[in-house]
Structure formats: structure tokens, C-alpha cells
Structure 1
Amino acid sequence: MKRFTLLLAAWAFSLSAAPLTSDTISEAVKLTKEGKLNVALKTLEREKQLIFQPQVNLQRAKIAREQAQYNLAIELLSPLLTLPEQTLEFRYDVNKELGVNFRRNMNTDKAEYYYLAAKQIALSLDNDDLIAQSIINLGVLYEAQGAFDKAMDLQINAQKMLENSDNYELKAANYYNLFGLSNVLRQATQARFFLEQALVYDKKTGHKRNTAATALTLAQLSAKEDDYQNAIPQLKEAISLLEQLNANESLSSAHGTLFSIYLKQNKLNKSLWHAKKEKAYAEMTQSTVRKFWSYIHLAQAYIKHKQPDTALDYLAQAKPFEAQFKSAFFTHQYNLYSSKAYAQKENYEEAYSYLLNATANFKTFAKNIEERDAVTIKKRLDNLLKSLKLAQEEKKHALTTIELENETLQKRIWLLASLLISVVSGFIIYAYYIKQKNTHYKAQMYQHNLEQKEQMLADISHELRTPLSVLKLHIEALEHNLIDDKFLAYGKINDKIAQLNNLISDVYQLSQLQNQAMYINFQEINLQQLTQKFMSDIKVLTEQYQLRFISDIDVAANTVLNTDQSKLEQVILNLAKNACLYTDAPGHVRLKVRANKNQVFIQLDDSSPGVSDEDLPRLFDRLYRVDKSRSRALGGSGLGLSICQSTITALAGNITLKHGKSGGLCVQVTLPLYKTLK
């Protein structure tokens, strides 16, 4: 009681010293924007008689939030709500700050309570900027809870309210949150636009921490787009700036992104180093989210290093946070890597148990975004149709341009021939003949390319039409409650989405191969060991389809093949899966491998049914199927053999098809053999 009386007395005294307090807080706010947080704290503590003043403690709480000390900020803020005679502006600021700190501590219920309280105060003040800020904060909260449509509506409303505002900090926050939603909804172009706008307004505010954090997010967006050439230097530049500001939470996030990049590049030592740095910075904050991800990333790194016991130690540290978040996605990550760690320890019972839990968590997470994904696919289709119309217009324009160019060229040639015919008539005629022949050949090639492009676009549109029609029917049926078993409907929607994703992935991979944009990593690989892996994988496939596997291997133990192992494995497994899918049981699939001093010979053949003489030469054509209905039922895109052919060509090899001796299809692959291990 005595302490509370002293607090009130100190607050009453502060009212008489308002100008000094205002100057002190203004200076502290300026220092905070410049990232000089420790200097700002010393400024607030410079005048001892002001230490209990509410406005000073409010600013101290804001600095604690900037330092990711959320519990300390809450401790400073909570008593301020009980003080008498507070202005509405002050009450708004306290409620808003409490909401922010509880949200970052993943306490969404309390965060929503204080955000709504702040919004009511903003409405009573009739202050558009404060109302917009309240709406922005609620939008961030609902996004964290997975209510993306609600969050998007709030952010768009806030943007409208801020159209005529000169509050750059609020505009930056609004654009940043619109980026987050666009990113979740996989709208890459819009996401990058909103993030770049956020960075423009952050720079206008002069708030160095926010500017650095947005620049970091822009680098992370480049990483997400697999643009590592730009992402890595951008991240290192952001880290250099963040280290000057002691922004530990953002530093932890930056090192976490570099960990993921180097892990994808299989640079395990670098990825582990950045995972340790991520944890070190996370430990300096009160951010439970950053601590959770640092432990998950370290577990992931040690699993890659084949150290499951160390991985499980970090997973045990992540467990309390996973239980606190109540997030299906976070729980999925915890269970997934727990399963992998126990599998490495050969404790398959525990591994299986965690894997089952991870699958259940993923289904829960996927269920929350199914409807969003369906809408996104519709938007993608709309964009595809627009692209088709644009391509048609470009084709018409190109043909008209070629015709005009040909007419102009002919006129110039005839004019020149008429002037010089007496001297060089023979040369002009010959030159004209050659030019006409080349022009005709180029026009033929151009027309052929246009026809191929049109056919490809038509085939893709045709392939997309069926699953999209099924998606539309199921979604409409769900909207009108025409389906009793909704889980079955969700399953069918998931299947069709997976089918669309597989088709788009195959088209993208084939495009990379044909444009020579696919990275090929040639390495020396022991052929005998690689063959053993082929045999193991194909045997599993044949058992699944109740087929018999026959191996015919004659390879020296010291034979070395210089190739890209992952690409070759993909080709062989695709061929094996194709053989299993189109071979009737009981039947067999045979793998034959031979090697001489110059090349490696790999053959995969199967038993009946085979293909006709008419279909055999067309099997490498894109989107060609022998039995269309059966191929679609089995989930085939019609691009598998085209991808295999392009991949083998990229590996400097050759692939051919012929009728097999057992009545099925025989695929023969030859690859150059460069050297032999001594």
C-alpha cells in the first residue's frame, strides 16, 4: 500500500514537470528510432524524480519491446492501466502496447482483448490514424490465427483510411502486413510490391530498426524465390546493419534464413554454423517463436550430420514451446524431425509414432488452407487464360511484321537488281535466290515453333480443365451442403490440387531442361554402389505393384561414372515407376546394367502389355498418352518420358525405346564413362 501511495505521489509530481517530461520522452523517442536503445534508456533515467512517471514507463516498455523483452514490457505496462486520471490517448497507447507484446508472446486471447480495448478508445477519440492502427493490429492477430480472409479485409480497410494520412510509420506497417498476407496466399508479384512500398515508407520514418527488419524480409523473400545469388549478399548486408542496432530477434531470423539456404545447397558445415548463431541470438530475446525455430533448425542440422542424439536434445528444448503455441504447423515440424531422429537411431517404433502425429498435424494444417489454395488456383487459371490471349495477339502481330518485312525486302532487292542488272545480273539473281530460300526456311521454322507453342498451350489447358472442373463441382457442392461426407470431398479436392501441382512442376522442369537452365552437378560416382541403390528402389516399387523384379548386373567394382547422381536416379526411378504402372500382374520388371571402357549401358524392360508400332515413336512426345483414360486414372501427366529424354540428353547420353522380348516396353540408356578408379 505504501509503495502504491508513493507511485501516485510520483505521478502527481510529474504533472507539474510536464515540459521536462515531454522533452525527455521526445529525445528518447528520437534515439529509439535511430536504434540507440541503451542511450534512450539512460536518457529516461537521467532525471531520478521522473522514474515513476507513467509516460516514462510507457516509453521504457516500448524500448523493451524493441529489444524483444516482451515479459519486461508487460510488467512495465500492466500497472499503468490502474492509474487514475489518465488521458484517452495514454490509455490507448498502453492497451495497444499490451496487445502487441501479448501477441508476440503467442498469447492471442489477451492480445485480442487489449487490441479491441484500444480500438474502442480510438473510436471514442474519432482519430482516423489510431483507428487505422487498431485495425492493422487486429489484422496481424487474425493472420496469426489463420483467419486470412478476415485479416485481408482489415488491412485493406486500414489502407483506405490511410490514403490521405502523412503517418509514414502506419503506412509502412500496413504495406508490410499486406505483404505478409500476399506471401501466405502465394501471390508473389503483389507480395514483392507491398514489401518494397513498406521499405520506402520505413526509410521515410527514419526508424532504423524497422528499415533494417524490412530489408531483411526483402532478402528472405529473394531466398524463398530461390534467388540465392541476390539473397545471400542481401542477408549478410542486413546482418551487418542489425548487429549495429543489437536487433537480436531479427538477427536470429536472418541466420535462420541463411541456415535454410545452405542446407538446401547441401553445405552442411555452413548451415550448422548459422543454426548455432540463430540460437545464440534467440537466447538473448524473450521471443518464444525464435527460440522454437532455432531448436528445430539445430535438430534438422544434426540429423543431416547423422547425430540423432544431439538432434533429440534440441527437440526436447523445443517441446515446451510447441505445446504453448497450439499450432498445427509448429506441432507438425516438431513431430516430423522427431520421427527422423528416431529413425536414425533405428528406433522405428518411436519414429513411426511421431510420423503418424506429423501426418495428422499436416492434414489439420492443410485443411485450413485448402479453400485458399483452390481460390489461388482459379486465379492462376485466369492469369493463364490472359497469357494465352496475349500470346495469340503477339503471334498475329509477329506474322504481320514478317509479311511486311518480306514485302519490303523484295521491293529493295528488285530495285537493286534493276539498277545493276547489266553488270552483276547473275550475282543478284543468285543472292536473291539464297535470300528467298533463307526467308522461307525461317518462316517455316517460326511457323513450326508457333504451332508447337499453340499445341502445348492447348494441351496444358486441356489437362487443367478436367481437375479444375472437378474442383469447382466439389467446392460448389460444399458451399451448398450437397455432400454428406465432407472429409471425402476434401480428400478429392486435395487429390486434384496435387494433380495440378504435379503437372505444373513437370512443365516447369521440362522447360528448364529444354532451355538448358537446369543445373547439372557432374560428380564421380561408383557405378556398382549406384546400381545397388537402383535395385533396392526398384524392388520396393515392384513389390507395391505385385510384380517380380529381375536384376542382370555385370559391373566391375572399381567402375566410376561421371554424372549427376540425383538427375540419373530421377530418370531410372521414373522409368521403373512407369514400367510398374503399365505392366499387368503377375508380370516382371527387369534391370540390366553393363559397362565397358567407354560407356555404361542401362536397360529397363517389362512384360506385357506393350505398345503398338504406331504409338512407339510418339512416346517421347510431350503430353502424349497411349491409353489416355488409364494414364489419368494413374495420375500421369504425360510428360515423364519427355523429361527423361531431356535429362539424359543433358547428361550427354542417349535414350531409346523398342519392343521388349517379354511383350512389354524396353528402354535403353547409354551414358559416357570417362574414367576408372585406380
Structure 2
Amino acid sequence: MIIFVFVFFALFSVAAIGSVNVEFGEFKVQAESLKSSEERQVLLKKADDLLKTRQLTQMQTAYVLHRAGLVCIREGCFEQTVTYLARLETLLESFESLEYLGKLNLSRGNMAITRGNHFEAIPYLIAASNFFEQAELHTLSSHANRFLAHAYQQLNKYSDAVIALDASFEAAVKAENVQLEMAVARQKSAIYTSLDLIEKSLEIQLQQLQKIPYLPQKSQEFWMNDTFWGLAESYAALGEHAKSYDYFNKVHDIDKRLNGKQDQAVTLRRMGEQKVVLKQFGRAAEHFKLSLAILAELDIPLAVLDTQTYISEMYLREGKLQIAQDTLETIITQLDITKNVNAYARASYLLIDTYLQNALYEQAHRQLLITEPLKNKDIAKHYSFLAQALQGKGDLEGAFEAQNQMHLAYKNKMKEQGSLKTLVLASESEYVTGQLELKQAKAEQALLKAEQTLTRYIGFSIVAVLLFIILFVLVFTRQRRARLEQEAKHLNQALELKKQLLADVSHELRTPLAVLKLHLEALEHNLVSDPQATYKILNQRLDNLNLLISDIYELAQADTGTFNLSLERQGASELFDDLAGQVEDVLCDHDLHLEVKKSSIDKVLLEIDSARLHQVVANLSRNSIHYTDKPGEVCFALSETEEAVILSFSDSSPGVSDQDLPHLFERLFRCDKSRSRDLGGSGLGLSICEKVVEAHGGEINASHSELGGLKIEIKLLKA
């Protein structure tokens, strides 16, 4: 009987644990796809039920507590957040997890930012960044530093914000997350805009635009939207509101395609703002009306009030003072001065401006007293309005004092802005200064070496002249000097080639070897969940290194004059047919359609190394496979001139910029610096093609393709 009870209890426990694991799996799935407040409330209920079972593992419990804390931050139930995070902190005392120690501090920092306590958030976010860095969780480290930069920015500590963003960018690079790199750059651009460093902000945004075509297709539209928004904000800050409107209009078109209704509403409102500044009030009213309709449909009351505030500003600029006053008074009654601080301050100052223009000085003064706790939002504007209101009431002494306070506020603001700009630019220039100092030291070293060489040369010349005068062996001396100079030239060329080769090898091997080392260390310390996949990656990396070494070896042969060709005569038509067959074999499995164009060329012979030309075409085919959007097109064509036969190889988009086109045959040059080496190859393929063609006495050139991509043209002289 006792055995039966024990077995029954064991089976019951196993079934209960299995049921909890199923519920935990459902919890994880739901936590990754939350959209509405109702869904978040359901998830919190499920979190509490799971925690009550006490059958979760420590790692599962940590996950549930952390997720529940994040949901509570989103819902604004901060007391419950504190409880969840306190339980997580207690749990972490019993098992060590750098990841969850980082997440605990990141969540506390996030909550502090959400509540507006940016100073309180900073130590939590610094601690989170340190934990993630120790755990080599680069993506989370990048996020923590972005939060930290936001907190510093809100405290006007822009120099510290830029430093945090630099750390975030470095972590994103380590994580090989291009989109996270772009998010960091976007945040830095916003800082520059707020500091009126619009030129630097625009520079970053234009760099973002150049990267977008190389992102995954699904992400391109999002980043295009985000970058257009940044450009619109920058042009608005510059006062170029027509350009700003054009970019907001582009954002709105993308919003409609992405079906983001709330985003559409916000963009329409910003479009209306630009039209108000341009005094095109009819078009502004249309945009505001569409924005209000969407927000009313979505039932977002605060956003509706915010848009109505901008409509009131339009009435104010139009001179419709009574309509503006009535609308703003209604809006003020629906806002809470403690909960809706920014919205209340904006609406209140617009209402005060309306009162002053209507000469209602008493009402303006009364509203200024109500808004007194918010004056730090725009202290200069507050005292400007106060001076006008007091002057209208006849209190000239009070008005004079308010005027003085206004001037003092302007002076402090300008001084603070100047200091902030200086600090930000200084922090950025430190790196550049270090690089310049390094270059200067190298230049001084080179100058000293040149002076020593010159001194030796002068001494040698004097000795040569003396020998010439004394020994009368001019011919012998000249021949000897010529021989020495020729040897020195050859030696210098060999040294330069060696330096170039070493520089190329070290540049290209550093990154893949570092990646190999990281994977091996991960295998050594059992940090990899799927060793087979890691071994596959290691084999892939080693194959890439073998290809790189092979390419470098061929270039080294070309540089040292040991690049030999096995020349034989062959018909141009026959050669082209062989090459076209090779291209078709290579491209057929990569969703690229090949079109072959062959001019009628009879009895034309070429003196060529067929194997080397096959290598050239293979490199060009591989480039098209790597860099052409799928499905795509490739055109391989044969034509002739009086002296030469021309092989042309064209592919479809994406193409190469005018700036990059002249550099394609340079060693290790890649148009897209963010693209991984696994996709981009060794960066030596086109250099090898150039060497092979030049060894044949021919020419190779790159141009834009009629198909929208790249066209490589090879000219071979007729035999």
C-alpha cells in the first residue's frame, strides 16, 4: 500500500512539473507578442499563477519575474514592478547569473526613466552595462548604454551621452548587429539636432541612407521611415519647413504601407505643424483633421488633446483669437498638471499668449501663477509673458523685474548651450586628435629618416667626385653607381611589396581569427548550445581563410613577377562559348537568369591562357552571386573592334556608387563596410582579375550596367 502511494505521488509530481513547463512555454510565447493593455494584464495574471506553483526552475522563475516587471513598467503599475524586481534580486542571491543581474539593473533604470527620475536611473544603467559586458552579452550591453545615453541627455549631460552612445555602438559592432548600430547613430543624430549641430546630424542621417539598401528587405522600409523622420526634424530645426514637410510626407507614405495608424496620426500632425509655420493654414487644417480622426478611432484621449493644442496654435497664428482661447480653455480642463506636465505646459503657454493678445492681462497673470511650478520647461518664455501681463495690469516695477529675469534666463541658456556644444565636440575630437598626433609622429620619423638618407647620399656623391678627379675612372664609377642604385631600387621595391603583403594579410586575418578564437573559447567553456552548428561555422571560417590565402598568394606572384601564363592560340568564338557555359553552370543554382549575347566573330584568334580567363569569369560570377538581389539578371556578351575582342559581364541591381566605382580594383576594397566577410569574400577577386588581364596585355574596366548593377568590360588584343 505504501509503495502504491509513493508511486502515485511520483507520477503526480512528474505530471504537475510537465504541466508547469507547458504553461511556462505558453507564457514565453505570449510575452514575445504583446500588443494591447488587455493582453498585458492577462500575462501578469499568468505570471502570478506560475510563481504560486513553486515548481519552476530558478532560471524560469527569473525569466517570469523579469518579464512581469517589464510589463508593469509598460502599464505604469510601478509598486508592483518594485515587488517583482525585489523578488528577482532575492532569487539572484541563491544562484549567479550575470545576465539577470544586468537585466535587474536595466529594468530598474528603465523604470526610473519612465517615471522621469533620470538621475536615479544612471547608476542602475551603468551597473547593467558592466554586468552585460562581463557576460559578453553585447546586444544587451548596447541597449543598456543607449538607455544611459537617454538619461544623460535628459539631464543635459550631452558629453556623457555621446560617450555612452560610443560604447553602445562598439557593443553593437561586437554583436554584428547592423540595425542596432543604426539605432545608436540615429540617437546620436537626435542629440546633435537638439544642440543645433544640424550639419553633423544630417551627415549621420545621410550615412544611414547609404546603408539601408544593404539591410534585409523586411527592415529597409522601417529604417527608411526612421531616417526620413530624422531628416524632417533636422530641416525643421534649420527653419527649412518646406523641406521638412516633404520628408514628413515621405514618412506618411511609408506609414500607410506599414499600416501604422498611430504613426500616421503623429506624422499628419507634424505635417500640419510645418504648414502652419509656412502660413498655409488650409492645408494644415486638413492634416490636423485627418490626424484627429485616426486618434479618435484608436481612442487615445491624450494624443487627441495634443493635436487639438496644435490646432489652437494654428488659430492663434491665423488671428482667430477667440476660437483659440475657447479651445485651449477646454483642453486645460482635461489635463492634469502633475501627470501631463509637458502637454499642460504647452497648452497653458499658448492660452497665456492668447490672453495677452486679447489684452486679458488678469486672466494671463492668473494662468501664469498656476503654471509657476512648470516654468523651468521654458523659463525665458515664462518671464517674458509675466512681464507683458504685469505691464498690462499697470505693475511696471514687477514687469521690469520679470524682464530682467527673462534676459538672465536667455543669457544662461545661451551660455549653457555653448558649453554643451563645446563638451560634445571636445569629446568627439579627442579620438581625432590622437590620430593626428600619431600621424604627425610618423611624419617626423619619416622626415628624420629622409634627412639621414640625404646626408648619406651627399657623402657618397662627394666621395664619388673625389674618386673621379683622383683616379680618372669616370666610366667605372658611373657603372658602379648605376648598379648600386638599381640594386637599391629592386631592394626597396621588394621591401614595399613585403610591407604591402604583410599589411594586407594582417588587415584581413585579424577579424576572422578573432571570431575563430571567440567560438573556440565558447566551445572550451561549454557556452555553446549547439556545438555542431559552431563546428560548421568554424569550418566555414577556415574555408574563407583558405580562399583569402590563395588570393593573396596569387597577388604576391603578380607583384613579384612570378605570375606566369601558359599562352596558346584559341578562337575567340570557341573561348566565349566555353566561358558562357561556365557562367551558366555557376549561376543556375542562385536564382540568376543568364542572357548570352554573341556577335558573329569568325576566324578571330587570341593568344591567351584559357585557365586564367576561366578564373577571371569565375570571380565575376561569384561577385554577381554575392551582390545581386535575387531574383536577378546577368548578361555575358562578346563583341569586337578592329584591334581587340571585348568580353562584357553585366548584372542587375544593386549597383555601385560613382564614388566607389574607381576603387573597385583596389585590394581589399568593399563598397559596403558593414557587410560581413562571409558574404563579401576576400575583397581581392577583382584585383586578381585585373592582374590576369594585364598579364595578357589587355585592359579591364568597370562601369554602371544597363541592368542596374555593375558592368565589367575586358578587352583582349587579337593575335
TM-score, with length taken from structure 1: 0.42
TM-score, with length taken from structure 2: 0.40
Q: Which has the higher contact order (CA 8 A, sep 6+)?
A: 1
Query: Computing the radius of gyration over CA atoms, which structure comes out larger, 1 or 2?
Result: 2
